[in-house]
Structure 1
Amino acid sequence: MTLVLRDLTVEAAGRALVDRLNIEVPDGRIVGVVGPNGSGKSTALRCVYRALRPTSGAVLLDGAELASLKLRDSARSIAALTQESRTELDFTVEEVVALGRAPHTRGNQPLTAHERALCARAMDRLDVTHLAERSVLTLSGGERQRVLVARALVQEPRVLVLDEPTNHLDIRHQVQLLSFLRGSGLTVLTALHDLNLAAAACDSIAVLSEGSLVTSGRPAEVLNPELIRKVFGVDATVVHHPRSQAPQLVYDLAPTSSPAPADALPEGPHS
C-alpha cells in the first residue's frame, strides 16, 4: 500500500506547523522523517493516523483520500505508535495486545483461535511473551513500548506509522525492532531522532525544518555535513558502516568553557 502526503498543511494560532509537505512512501518501503524538535514531524504523523485534521492538503492511501474513509476502515489499514501512547488502566500485557483487534471485531466478541495465535506471534516478535500476565502499570518504559508495538502489529495493518519507536528501548531491542521492520514488507513512515538509526533502517529520509521539507532521498544522498550543520546546527563527519556501507555520523562536540576558579565563585552563607 502506497502512502502519500500531498501538500499537507497544518496551521495553529496563525502559524503553519506543517507547510505544504509532500512525502511519498512506496509500498513496502520505510521512510524516516527527521528534523529538530518542533520541526513538524509528529504533527505530520498525527494527520496520517487521523488524530489531527490537516488545514489543507491530503493524505492518500493507494490514491484514495484518507478523509473519505470511515475511521474503522482506515484503522484496518493503518496502525500507529504515538509518542503519547499511554495505558493507565490496569490491563495485562495480553489484554493490551489483544486491543489491536478492535478495528476487526464488533462488540465484545471473544478472540478467535486465529486471533489468539496472531497475538502470541506479535508478543514473541517483540520479546514480551514472558510479560503476558503482568499489569502494564508495572512495566518499564521500554517494556511498555514493545507491548504497544505488538498491539499495532496485531491490527494486521498494511501501513505502520511510528513516532519515535525506539524511545526507551535498549540497544538490543532497538536493533531487533528495526531489523523486523526491514523484513516485514509493511509500508512504514517513522519519525526518528537518531540519524544513525534512520540511515541504517530507512530506504529514504525526509528532512524537516520549521514545518517544511528541506530535502528527501536515500540516506547516502541526504546525510551530509552541510545539511547537518544547516538543519541541526552541529558539525558532523560522515563515515560508512564497514559492512552495510550505510552513512553514519560522528558528531563534533563543541568545546566547553573551563570551570571558574574557586576564588571566583560566590561565597555561600556563613554558618
Structure 2
Amino acid sequence: MRAGTGTGTDLRLDRLSVVTDGKSLVHGLSLDVPAGQVVGLVGPNGSGKSTALRCVYRALRPTSGTVWLGDQDLTRLPLRQSARTIAAMTQDGGVDFDFTVEEVVALGRAPHLRGNQALGRRERELCERAMDRLDIRHLADRGVLTLSGGERQRVLLARALVQEPEFLVLDEPTNHLDVRHQVGLLSLLRGSGLTVLVVLHDLNLAAAACDRLGVLSQGRLVASGAPADVLTAELVADVFGVAASVVPHPLTGGPQLLYSLDSRP
C-alpha cells in the first residue's frame, strides 16, 4: 500500500483559536507538523487537544487562525480534495449501522470514487492489505457492531489508511487496544511515511511513538519539541499535577516516566 502522496507537504497550525459560547477552548495555537513526522498532542482532559484536531479534519471551523497544508489554506480547498488529502480517526467516529468490516474499510475509498462506482481491482487490493496490516482480515465478514472496542479501532484505522492520505489525524487511537496492538499501531504510524498528528494520553507511548510533542494546557501551547526536551519532571508536575521521575528507556534512550502513587508535586 502506498504510504502517502510523496509530496512532502508540511501541516501547520497558525495562531488557531476556537471560542464557543463565550469560552475559549483553544487560544492562539501555533504548531508545525513537518512532512513525514509523527507529532503528538498531549495535555490534561479539557486542554483543547481534540478541538484542535477537529479544525484539521474540518469538523470545526476555527474562530480565528489558519490550518495550512504547505502554502494552502485548508478552508479554501474543496471538501472532496481535503478528504483525499487528510484522513481522520476520531473518538466519535464509530459506525451506527451493522456494515461488515470489509464494507467499512472500503468506505475509505469514497473520496476517490464517483457516485456508486464499484471498487476496482486496485481498490480491493488496498482494502485487503490494510486489513492485513491491522490484523483484521479474519474479521472481514463480521458485522462491525459485533466487534470489541479494540477491534473496531483497528477497523477504523484501516479505513483511514485505505484513503491513501498524505496527512493522518488520530484522536486517541490506542483507546481500547491491548498492549500488543497499541505497540503495533504506533509502530505502523512511525513506519507509514505519512505526516501524522495524534492525540495521546499515555505520555510514555507518546514519547516512544512521536518525533515531536506539543503540550496543551487550558487551550494554550505551553511546550513543544522533541520528547526528551519536553517531558521533564517539572512540566509533568506543572501541567498534569503528578510527581514523576524521568528515566532513559533501557533500549532506545528516550524518556520514560515513572509515577509515584504516594506523592504529589
Q: Please report the TM-score for the alignment, with normalisation by the length of structure 1.
A: 0.93
d(CA) in 2 for partners of 1:63 and 1:176? 33
1:160 aligns with 2:168: yes
The answer on 1:134 being equivalent to 2:142 is yes
**1:28 maps to which residue?**
36
Q: Is the 8 A contact 2:243 2:263 kept in 1?
A: no
Is 1:199 aligned to residue 207 of structure 2? yes
Q: 2:89 aligns with which of 81, 84, 104?
A: 81
Q: Tell me the equivalent position of 1:101.
A: 109
SS at match of 2:247: strand
Gaps of at least 5 residues in structure 1 are 257-271
Residues in 2 aligned to 1:76 and 1:195: alpha-carbon distance in whole angstroms: 31
Structure-1 residue corresponding to 2:119: 111
State the distance in 2 between where 1:63 and 1:38 align.
Answer: 30
How many angstroms does 1:254 deviate by?
Answer: 2.8
The aligned residue for residue 180 of structure 1 is 188
Partner letter of residue 12 of structure 2?
Answer: V
Describe how 1:1-271 pairs up with structure 2 within 5 A.
1-254=9-262
SS at match of 2:87: strand
**Identity between Structure 1 and Structure 2 (%):** 68
1:255 Cα deviation from its structure 2 partner: 6.1
**CA separation in 1, counterparts of 2:85 and 2:35?**
13
State the shift of 1:85 in Å. 1.1
* Cα RMSD (Å): 0.9
Q: Which runs of 5+ in 2 are unaligned?
A: 1-8
Q: Which residue type is aligned with residue 157 of structure 1?
A: P
Letter aligned with residue 124 of structure 1: D
Distance in 1 (CA, whole Å) between partners of 2:240 and 2:149 is: 27
Tell me, in whole angstroms, the C-alpha distance in 2 between the residues paired with 1:4 and 1:50: 14
Partner amino acid, structure 1, of 2:101: V
SS at match of 1:157: coil
Give the structure 2 partner of residue 264 of structure 1: none
Distance 1:159 1:63 in 2: 15
- Tell me the matched-pair count: 256
> Considering only CA atoms, is the larger Rg found in Structure 1 or Structure 2?
1
For the residues of structure 1 that align with 2:50 and 2:113, how far apart are their CA atoms?
29
TM-aligned CA deviation for residue 114 of structure 1: 0.3
CA distance in 1, matches of 2:158, 2:207: 24
CA distance in 2, matches of 1:228, 1:209: 11
Name segments (4+ residues, structure 1) moved above 6 Å.
Answer: none
Q: Calculate the TM-score normalised by the size of structure 2.
A: 0.95
Paired residue type of 1:155: Q
